[in-house]
Structure 1
Amino acid sequence: MKQIFVAEREDNVNNNEVIERVEFCQLCYLTLKNLPRIASFYSEVKTPSTLPMRQKESTTNLQSNDNNLEDELDTFTPLFNRKVVFPHLETLELEAINAEMIWDNQLPTMSSCYQSLTCLIISKMEKLNYVFPSSMVKSFEQLQHLEIGSCKELKEIVGKEEGAEAAATFLFSRVEVLKLSYLPKLTTFCPGIHTSSWPKLKRLEVFGCQNLHIFTSEYKVVFPNLEDVRLHAINSQMIWDSQLPIMSDCYQNLTHLVIGSIGKLKYIFPSSMVKNFKQLRYFSINSCKELKEIIAKEGAEALPTVIFPRVESLILENLEELRTFYPRMHISEWPNLKKLEASSCDKLQMSTLEYKV
């Protein structure tokens, strides 16, 4: 299948008589999967101007019409252009679609076309370079669930259009779940200097995004209400940037932290940020082959006491270089710890005099 909605028009028809737009007023859920030949949801094709000629050549020109259709479709880069409107669409799932972009970035009239969208799931779109044009971010104010996976050319979540002024702040005001998986070229949420704010985000999952740096001062990504963070197979030497003053209360609601297969990671927490994680309850680290400590040594002053007041489960697995929780003389307190698992952590010493676990 090469098209979903095709509008035919005769060669001599005035452009003003062409369909202005197609509106799917009642459509709430749309799933497009395994359609590698579709480049655009809506297309227009030219047909011969006289009916007798169309009837006469209907058989002999079948193959040539098909070729013309393919050429016509190739000119429509966005999957959804200005001709298609989904005012009540709530869930959109796209998988294995051959499109370089999803939405047309030249269309200010689209600001209300996706005003009801709450769930967006994208996977295996191998030509996709970005998800949202920067001019359209405000159109997705109701979005609550965003999931992107296995898009090998994706470089950013929000793309900057040519000639457009870069916005200082991008706000995803209602997104609660963000899942990013197997995006090898993804480096940032948006190129250039900006702030990306996710005030209601509760769950963040990142798997197999080797070039993505999330919690750094360079891009200023703000998650004030995160509860659950799961990071696996990303290329980073540290998770949190201790130089960000705005992050002082960003993780006060974090209850679950799962970290795995981050090969270059040296430590988990900067010592200056340990107090931010008072709500942490489940803490798991596995297969970080260069991890040497849980808390990094910073500055001249040492922390005399390290307290994780609400942690109930601590899981440490396959951490061959892990030696200590904190490389200074201190007392480490876990007053609510109920489950402690440590396997294949041969260099870790937990029962020395400077620790009180």
Structure 2
Amino acid sequence: MLKNLFSFSVAKGLRQLEEIRVSSCENMRELIKVEKEEMGEDDILEFTQLRFLELKGLPKFNGMWLFDKKVLFPALENLYLNSVNGIKRIWHDDQLLTVSLTSLQVHCCSELKYVFTSSMVESFVNLKTLVVGDCDEMEDIIEGILGGEERINNSISVFPKLDSVALYNLLNLKRWHDDQLLTVSCGVQNLTHLEVSNCHKLKCVFTSSMVKSFVNLKTLKVRHCNEMEDIIEGILGGEERINNSIKVFPNLTVLVLTDLPSLKRFCCGINPVEFPFLGKLEIRKCRVLSAFHFDTASIGNNISLDPSILQPQYLFSAKFTFPNLHQLTLRWNVGVKEIWRLVPSSTSFQNLVALEVEGYHGIIKIITHSTAKSLVHLEKMRIENCQEIEEIVGGGDDDDDPQLKILKLQSLPKLESFCSSRHYTFDFLSLEWVYVDDCPNMKTFSHGELNTPFLHGVRLKWNVRWEGNLNSAIQQIFREESSMVEESENSWEESENSEEDLSDLCKKQRRHGTWEGN
């Protein structure tokens, strides 16, 4: 029954030790056992060469803090903690020798309420990676606030080399930052990756006052946070209002928002907002999200009002621009009535290559003809499970030369055509494949003129249909599906009649005593 790793006398002789891994020791209570007579009041045990420390599966570890101020690891670069259940703090408040640490991972430490204290947070000057998860009692990543002197002098540098942060399954986490700390800090400017998942008490990820600190953020993923209402809380503005433009996360390339049932908006403000380098945007299962950007021009600073009452329910407006967006995925965001509203001259989505829309039951069309003309690089479109959609492109009396290569339409019970306008001409000079499945009311593709010189055919499940042109192929599929529905209904009626006949026969046999069954 191993209760400690080293005695003090043994540890003194391990000054060259570079790596320690301790795993699945159910009875271990401490790393180094120190007897009172072995260590004087001013003595310090220093592991000058230790660079890697991994502790996992230590359910009875009972240190108040992991690192006592008398045991130092000045060269430690990687610290991994998993299921070290007894610790309530990682570091002693007075221990500032953490300058070499580059990677910190903390998992399943059930008693831990925070990772850092504000009094020592400045010492993590080389920390690059932070991962914290499954810590049931954790309320803050940084505990406490800095004193007034540091704030007045703006002399704070917090995590100046931090590159990646992942926070998951922190059910009591209420914030992951000190808002005022990051507002005056010259740190976090190197953070490129932030992922937050299953942190149900978080109301927001950023506040408007500190968001400008994240100038190099490239990837932002927020998933499964039940109480989150805003990604950026508060109204964007301040000094940016003077220039009448705001660039939020100027280097962001990937944004993923998934299963945020209370999310109302990404941000608020009166100014146009631009994501100059955003390439991938994915929004899924945000049930009350009605507007990506809530324009506060009409209500001043009162953002507590219900945005769905105050303005039309469109997800993207002309005030939000994504000049380099190439992939847009929208799924099961039922609060949205229109996906986007763009002026005809808009260039917000001019580089969009792939569009996926699924589970939008409140919309009757995907895009207007003016928006369609702005999507000059769109190559792939997939529309699925939208109960009310009647057409993909609405209205218009113009010619269009889309670059679409692949089109997939599935489970659209009210879809009648791709475009119902008789005055809209489509030259699909790049279209190669059209997939159609479970669209029982789609009788034709387009009522206007149609040109598809490179189309290979229309796929229905595993079969290919081709009648020389796209409209004829869609009409053939409509006839086949109508015939299948009719046959299915007839078969059902025959089955019901057969069951009724059999029931009548059984009753007659019972009456005449000829029933032989048991």
Query: Shared fold (TM-score greater than 0.5)?
Result: yes
Partners of 2:196 and 2:369 lie apart in 1 by: 38
Code of the residue aligned with 2:377 in structure 1: it is Q
1:8 offset after TM fit, Å?
6.7
Q: TM-score normalized by structure 1?
A: 0.77
Partners of 1:177 and 1:132 lie apart in 2 by: 17
1:353 offset after TM fit, Å?
6.2
Pair 125,84 (structure 1): closer, same or farther in 2 beyond 3 Å: farther
Code of the residue aligned with 2:328 in structure 1: it is V
Pick the aligned partner of 1:290 from 388, 397, 421.
388
Contact 1:90 1:118 in 2 (8 A): yes
1:232 aligns with 2:331: yes
Q: Which residue of structure 2 aligns with residue 93 of structure 1?
A: 166
Q: Which residue of structure 2 aligns with residue 47 of structure 1?
A: none
Contact 1:111 1:138 in 2 (8 A): no
1:193 offset after TM fit, Å?
3.2
Q: Which residue of structure 2 aligns with residue 205 of structure 1?
A: 282
Q: Which residue of structure 2 aligns with residue 29 of structure 1?
A: 129
1:166 offset after TM fit, Å?
9.2
1:216 offset after TM fit, Å?
4.7
1:38 aligns with 2:109: no
1:154 aligns with 2:228: yes
1:311 aligns with 2:404: yes
1:42 offset after TM fit, Å?
4.3
1:107 aligns with 2:107: no
Q: TM-score normalized by structure 2?
A: 0.54
Pair 122,219 (structure 1): closer, same or farther in 2 beyond 3 Å: farther
1:324 aligns with 2:410: no
Unaligned 5+ runs, structure 2: 1-86, 96-117, 145-154, 293-313, 451-469, 471-518
Pair 210,167 (structure 1): closer, same or farther in 2 beyond 3 Å: farther
1:93 is paired with a residue whose SS is strand
Of the two structures, which has the highest relative contact order with CA contacts closer than 8 Å and spacing of 6 or more? 1
Two-structure CA RMSD over aligned residues (Å): 2.8
1:191 is paired with a residue whose SS is strand
1:118 aligns with 2:118: no
Q: Which residue of structure 1 aligns with residue 93 of structure 2?
A: 7
1:107 offset after TM fit, Å?
2.7
Q: Which residue of structure 2 aligns with residue 137 of structure 1?
A: 211
Code of the residue aligned with 1:103 in structure 2: it is H
Code of the residue aligned with 1:115 in structure 2: it is Q
1:196 offset after TM fit, Å?
3.0
Contact 1:4 1:42 in 2 (8 A): no
Contact 1:201 1:225 in 2 (8 A): yes
2:373 is paired with a residue whose SS is helix
1:39 offset after TM fit, Å?
1.4
Contact 1:240 1:270 in 2 (8 A): no
Contact 2:206 2:232 in 1 (8 A): yes
2:419 is paired with a residue whose SS is coil
Q: Which residue of structure 1 aligns with residue 248 of structure 2?
A: 171
Code of the residue aligned with 1:23 in structure 2: it is S
1:328 offset after TM fit, Å?
1.4
Q: Deviations over 1:29-66 (max 9, x none)?
A: 1100111211123447xxxxxxxxxxxxxxxxxxxxxx
Identity of aligned residues (%): 28
Unaligned 5+ runs, structure 1: 10-17, 45-81
1:103 is paired with a residue whose SS is coil
Code of the residue aligned with 1:7 in structure 2: it is D
Larger Rg: 2
Partners of 1:291 and 1:192 lie apart in 2 by: 31
Pick the aligned partner of 1:251 from 349, 352, 371.
349
Q: Which residue of structure 2 aligns with residue 263 of structure 1?
A: 361
1:84 offset after TM fit, Å?
8.6
Contact 1:222 1:250 in 2 (8 A): yes
**Farther off after superposition, 177-186 or 231-240:** 231-240
1:238 offset after TM fit, Å?
1.2
Count of residues paired in the alignment: 304
1:344 aligns with 2:434: no
Partners of 1:130 and 1:166 lie apart in 2 by: 22
Pair 2,166 (structure 1): closer, same or farther in 2 beyond 3 Å: farther
Partners of 1:19 and 1:121 lie apart in 2 by: 26
Partners of 2:273 and 2:382 lie apart in 1 by: 27
Q: Deviations over 1:137-179 (max 9, x none)?
A: 1110010000000011111111128xx9696435210000000
Partners of 1:195 and 1:6 lie apart in 2 by: 47
Pair 106,353 (structure 1): closer, same or farther in 2 beyond 3 Å: closer
Partners of 1:352 and 1:271 lie apart in 2 by: 13
Partners of 1:304 and 1:41 lie apart in 2 by: 56
Partners of 1:36 and 1:87 lie apart in 2 by: 28
Contact 2:262 2:286 in 1 (8 A): yes
Pair 95,220 (structure 1): closer, same or farther in 2 beyond 3 Å: same
Contact 1:5 1:41 in 2 (8 A): no
1:106 offset after TM fit, Å?
2.2
